[in-house]
Amino acid sequence: MIYIQYVPEVDYRKDAGYNATEFSMYLRNYITKRANAATSGLTSKNYNRFLLEVYFSVHPELRTDFEENYYNWFHDTAGFFVKGFWSVITLGKTDKQYYYYNSLHDALKSVRFVEGGITYTPVTGVLDYTPLIGHTSQFLLISGLISTLLFVYFIFIWIWSAWDAYATSIRYAATKVRVTDKEWFLNVYAHGFEYIMILPALFVITFISIMPIVFGFLIAFTNFSGFDTDTGRFVWVGFQNFARIFSFGEGIPFAETFWKVLMWTVIWAIASTTTVFFGGMFQAVVISSERVPFKKFWRTLLILPWAVPALISQMAFSIIFSEHGVVNEILQGIGVYDVLNNWGMLGVEYSESAMTAWQKFIWLGQENIQWFNNPQNEWFVRIVLIVVNIWLGAPYFMALMTSIMTSIDKTLYEAADIDGATPNQKFKFITFPLIMYSTAPILVMTFSGNFNNFGVIYFITQGGVGTGDISRAYAGDTDILISWMYTLTVTKRVYNMASVFSILIFLLVGSIAAWNFSQTRAFKED
Amino acid sequence: MFGLFVGIFFFLVLLFTHSAITADVFERKGYAKINGALVGLLPVYGLLKANSLPDRKQVLKGAYRNIYSAKEIGMKLITFFQLCLAVFFVLFPIVYLIGASFTNIDSLPTTLIPPANLASLQNYIDLFDGTDFLYWYKNTLIIAVLNMILGVVFITGAGYVFARFKFKGKKAGLMGILVMQVFPSFMGLIAMFTLFQTFNLLGKSTYLTILYVGGSIPGNIWLIKGYLSQIPKDLDESAMLDGASKWQIFFKIILPLAVPILSFVAVGQFMAPWMDYMLPRLLLDIQIDPEIPVSRQWTLAVGLFSMISNPRNSSYTTFAAGALIVAVPITILYMVFQRYLIEGITAGATKG
């Protein structure tokens, strides 16, 4: 029953030809009349498989031929684990073939059947739209990984049972007391309690977290990219993709774009973290000032942006700052546009040759300020983005720091007062060091968070000008690595390069995070 | 309109400055500062009242001059100018969103507060009649509830073991979990798509829960471990001496003590799916049944973004209505629990 195992679709040679027999004619008539894919519930898969099965029964010699040419022991017969290992190692052997190789289809298409004055045309639609898939590497890889990971579990169980049998036999030899089943289970429970409790979570993590990461890691070493590999086969290519980020001037400019995007990502992460941190600190200092009554009132109002779901506020910003949006209307209404026009920041037609560098630098748009879709002045857009991010990020730090400030021991300030310290000195030598001490780990976390801050970039600018443009390797002006990877993965299907970048982000952020974590008490204690 | 607005703004700055000065005078005279600040909200009257109060304590001669010095008043003006400005910027998008949601126009509203003659509930009606908002809400709610229940169930035992026991492979496990968290969430995206395709789950929103639960376990193990590590181990040991089994210790001692952190985890699990975009966008935006429009399979984040992402086919005001319906409960929840949320994160960061 090889043709049944040969899933997902059948595959047949062009030159095998189709010889009509009486039986196959009847069958075809039946199918023509009854088997309309939409009404009978036939799927292309079982339709093909059924036809092939019938056809092989009629022509046993073709079956042998089929088995010899298209049969792959690992793919079609081998068990779960062996097939899994084979899949991961080879990623499949048989390429995808299209329907016109299928002689059954050719034969069916030309035959009409007349009964009772009505002509029936065969339903070949099912076949028409069915590419005859060979081995699909991505499915093979994923099922291969599943079986490999399961295999690891089994290996552990196997080693443990061997060890347990050995230990039991030793004990029996020494004491001559037979362990009953109940005792054995109680013993295992008592000694393996920790592992039993972890097991469910571990199992879920293995297949939901570890497996996808391994998959993502592995495809960085393949040529998995584009529609063909999506539905067909891809192969291992070693470190070729990693080399591409250093090979300038070849094909799609991944190398140039990568370094540009990386630079902007680092600038973005540093700038957004520091602005948010010091913005929050400034606001906290203002609120905590003795001059301000109703501290709670101000704090509650100013913390609102933290409580509003970021996704919603990010989308709101993309509306507010759109070219014909409310901000531009207000600025126009109160006459800011006139000032900008005078300064040459607005109302001037952009020209690459006639403008000085300074004029280009301050160019905000021709008719309206193009906050996020400025095609010429990418740094303006980026600075706006950093400023908008203060709205999103600073309130959290403000709240954090006000609560730290109120918890600082008051006697410290009293002692400073007696020594005649000025408010600035008190801030510099008491408040600031204490704030830094308790927020430093969070600062590092915020940095790595901003490094991967998909939301701000994607929901506000959707990558900015030039997203999806092949001449710039699909990266827009404001794309940071993570949003660029999103475009690469979801819309452009350049999976392998996206994975390469994932690995690089991991190495970069991971080393920062590891350093940060090694400083915490939790790590030192355990 | 603009002039009126600026007028109100500076009036507020002056009012708060006045209130702060009144509060200072109250304090100098030995009264509660907050009362002074409240009285000071009445312009002019507050300050007169404050100055007419009898002294409750010995007041130094130069004390008032200090309050009324140009530098002090100037600093107060600057302070409240800054605060009012910050509040203006904070409220701007929120007020705009609320205003936009209650208009009857379909295009982009271009005033902060729309004129009264445009006010209507049309957008809310459109949201429920014209879009699949209720489907998105239902899908998201199902995922959120399942994610909360399953997330807590899977995490509790593992968190307990990692916090209270020493065993072979513990440190390796904890390190492994940390390493996994550093990988960009993107890395698994392709694999999850393939996985869903393999098991024929694409477009079925409920199954997204599996991914959320699996993805949340590593972070939550650390969170629970950090919290439980603060509970003294003597408790377990004395119970053990009294003959309690590990299971009994877990249920009778640890679980009741872990209720705060478990509720924190539960709330976190519940909130996560509402605002996640990447996974549902990738896994749910796939037609599985020709009879059912694909948009019915979406979650809220995907649905809301679809309303504004296509410039030709956007309805910004309907989006505003939907965004408000989603954001208001979440915002209230965050505001109510802000102390726990903010300080909880600090505790997690410094103590592990």
pLDDT in tens, A182-225: 888 888 888 888 888 888 888 988 998 889 999 999 999 998 88
Q: Identify the closest residue of chain A to B189 by CA–CA distance.
A: A212
pLDDT at B20: 92
Q: How far apart (Å, rounded) are the C-alpha atoms in residues A440 and A401? A: 12
Q: How far is CA A8 from the centre of its chain?
A: 27
pLDDT at B134: 93
Cβ of residue B238 closer than 8 Å to a chain A Cβ: no
Confidence of residue A41 (pLDDT cuts 50, 70, 90): low
Lowest mean pLDDT across A214-223, A500-509, B339-348: B339-348
Interface of B with A in 241-260 (CB under 8 A): 246
Interface of B with A in 97-126 (CB under 8 A): 97, 100, 108-112
Q: Across residues A405-430, what is the average pLDDT? A: 87
Kindly report the nearest CA distance between residue A350 and chain B, in angstroms: 24
Q: How far apart (Å, rounded) are the C-alpha atoms in residues A295 and A297? A: 5
For residues B2 and A83, the model is more confident at A83
Structure-token pair, residue A219: 């495809």
pLDDT at A390: 95
Q: How far apart (Å, rounded) are the C-alpha atoms in residues A299 and A317? A: 22
**In whole angstroms, how far apart are CA A402 and each of A241, A303, A426, A444, B319?**
48, 11, 16, 19, 34
List of chain A residues whose C-beta atoms are within 8 Å of the C-beta of residue B36: 293
Question: Which amino acid is residue A81, in one-letter code?
Answer: F
For residues A278 and B105, the model is more confident at A278
For residues B167 and A163, the model is more confident at A163
Cβ of residue B50 closer than 8 Å to a chain A Cβ: no
Lowest mean pLDDT across A129-138, A354-363, B253-262: A129-138
Interface of B with A in 307-336 (CB under 8 A): 308-309, 316, 319-320, 323, 326-327, 330-332, 334-335
pLDDT at B348: 47
Average pLDDT of the residues of chain B: 85
**In whole angstroms, how far apart are CA B174 and each of A156, A361, B159, B226?**
19, 49, 11, 12
Kindly report the nearest CA distance between residue B108 and chain A, in angstroms: 7
Cβ of residue B58 closer than 8 Å to a chain A Cβ: no
For residues A240 and A355, the model is more confident at A240
Interface test with A, best of B94, B152, B195, B221 (most A CBs within 10 A): B195
Q: How far apart (Å, rounded) are the C-alpha atoms in residues A493 and A229? A: 9
Q: Identify the closest residue of chain B to A214 by CA–CA distance.
A: B188
Q: Kind and range of the H or E element at B272?
A: none
CB pairs under 8 A between A and B: 286
Q: Which residues pair with B103 in a beta bridge?
A: B119
Structure-token pair, residue A364: 């905000």
Confidence of residue A287 (pLDDT cuts 50, 70, 90): very high
Strands (DSSP E) contained in chain B are none
For residues A471 and B141, the model is more confident at B141
pLDDT in tens, B286-333: 888 778 888 888 999 999 998 888 777 778 889 999 999 999 998 998
Q: How far apart (Å, rounded) are the C-alpha atoms in residues A520 and B349? A: 8
Q: How far is CA B249 from the centre of its chain?
A: 35
List of chain B residues whose C-beta atoms are within 8 Å of the C-beta of residue A524: none
Lowest mean pLDDT across A96-110, A280-294, A322-336, B269-283: A96-110
Whether B174 has a pLDDT exceeding 80, the answer reads yes
The answer, yes or no, to whether ipTM is higher than 0.95 is no
pLDDT in tens, B37-65: 898 888 888 888 888 888 877 766 666 77
Average pLDDT of the residues of chain A: 80
List of chain B residues whose C-beta atoms are within 8 Å of the C-beta of residue A219: 190
**B99 three-state secondary structure:** helix
Residues 6+ apart with CB under 8 A from B344: B264
Q: Which of B332, B320, B323 is nearest to B96 (CA)?
A: B320
List of chain A residues whose C-beta atoms are within 8 Å of the C-beta of residue B210: 204, 208
Q: Which among A94-103, A341-350, A514-523 has the top mean pLDDT?
A: A341-350
Q: Are A506 and B165 inside 8 Å of each other by CB? A: no
Q: How far is CA B138 from the centre of its chain?
A: 21
Place of tokens 């109302």: A347
Confidence of residue B8 (pLDDT cuts 50, 70, 90): very high
Residues 6+ apart with CB under 8 A from A148: A84, A85, A88
**B152 three-state secondary structure:** helix
Question: Which amino acid is residue A197, in one-letter code?
Answer: M
Q: Identify the closest residue of chain B to A395 by CA–CA distance.
A: B90
Angle (nearest 5°) at CA B98 between B96 and B99: 65
Structure-token pair, residue A337: 């546009």
φ/ψ of residue A262, rounded to 5: -60, -40
Question: How crowded is residue A313: how many other Cβ atoms within 10 Å of its Cβ?
Answer: 26
State the alpha helices, DSSP H only, in B69-188: 70-101, 122-130, 133-164, 170-182
List of chain B residues whose C-beta atoms are within 8 Å of the C-beta of residue A286: 79, 82-83
pLDDT at A46: 60
φ/ψ of residue A113, rounded to 5: -135, 125
Question: Which amino acid is residue B326, in one-letter code?
Answer: V
Cβ–Cβ under 8 Å, residues B83 and A292? yes
Q: Across residues B132-138, what is the average pLDDT? A: 92
Place of tokens 């998995």: A224
Whether A408 has a pLDDT exceeding 50, the answer reads yes
List of chain A residues whose C-beta atoms are within 8 Å of the C-beta of residue B187: 212-213, 216-217, 499, 502-503, 506
Counting Cα atoms < 13 Å in the Cβ hemisphere of A223 gives 9
Confidence of residue B140 (pLDDT cuts 50, 70, 90): very high
Confidence of residue A16 (pLDDT cuts 50, 70, 90): very low
With 0-12 / 13-18 / 19 or more C-beta atoms within 10 angstroms meaning exposed / middle / buried, residue B242 is exposed
Checking phi first, is residue A379 left (phi over 0); if not, alpha (psi -120 to 50) or beta? alpha
Q: How far is CA B325 from the centre of its chain?
A: 15
Lowest mean pLDDT across A130-144, A225-239, A312-326, A398-412: A130-144
Model pTM? 0.82
Checking phi first, is residue B14 left (phi over 0); if not, alpha (psi -120 to 50) or beta? alpha
Q: Which residues pair with A118 in a beta bridge?
A: A115
Cβ–Cβ under 8 Å, residues A239 and A253? no
Question: How crowded is residue A450: how many other Cβ atoms within 10 Å of its Cβ?
Answer: 20
Q: How far apart (Å, rounded) are the C-alpha atoms in residues A295 and A286? A: 10
Cβ–Cβ under 8 Å, residues A106 and A128? no
With 0-12 / 13-18 / 19 or more C-beta atoms within 10 angstroms meaning exposed / middle / buried, residue A439 is buried
Confidence of residue B350 (pLDDT cuts 50, 70, 90): very low
**In chain B, what percentage of residues exceed pLDDT 90?**
26
Q: Which of B341, B276, B178, B260 is nearest to A445 (CA)?
A: B178
Q: Are A506 and B171 inside 8 Å of each other by CB? A: no
Lowest mean pLDDT across B147-151, B175-179, B207-211: B175-179
Cβ–Cβ under 8 Å, residues B31 and B57? no
**In chain A, what percentage of residues exceed pLDDT 90?**
21
Cβ–Cβ under 8 Å, residues A241 and B248? no
Dihedral sign from CA coordinates of B194, B197, B199, B205: positive
Q: Identify the closest residue of chain B to A321 by CA–CA distance.
A: B93
Question: How crowded is residue A415: how many other Cβ atoms within 10 Å of its Cβ?
Answer: 12
Lowest mean pLDDT across A102-106, A269-273, B45-49: A102-106
Instruction: Kindly write down the DSSP assignment for every residue of A474-525, as one continuous string.
Output: T--TT--HHHHHHIIIIIS--HHHHHHHHHHHHHHHHHHHHHHHHTSHHHHH
Cβ of residue B211 closer than 8 Å to a chain A Cβ: yes
pLDDT at A291: 87
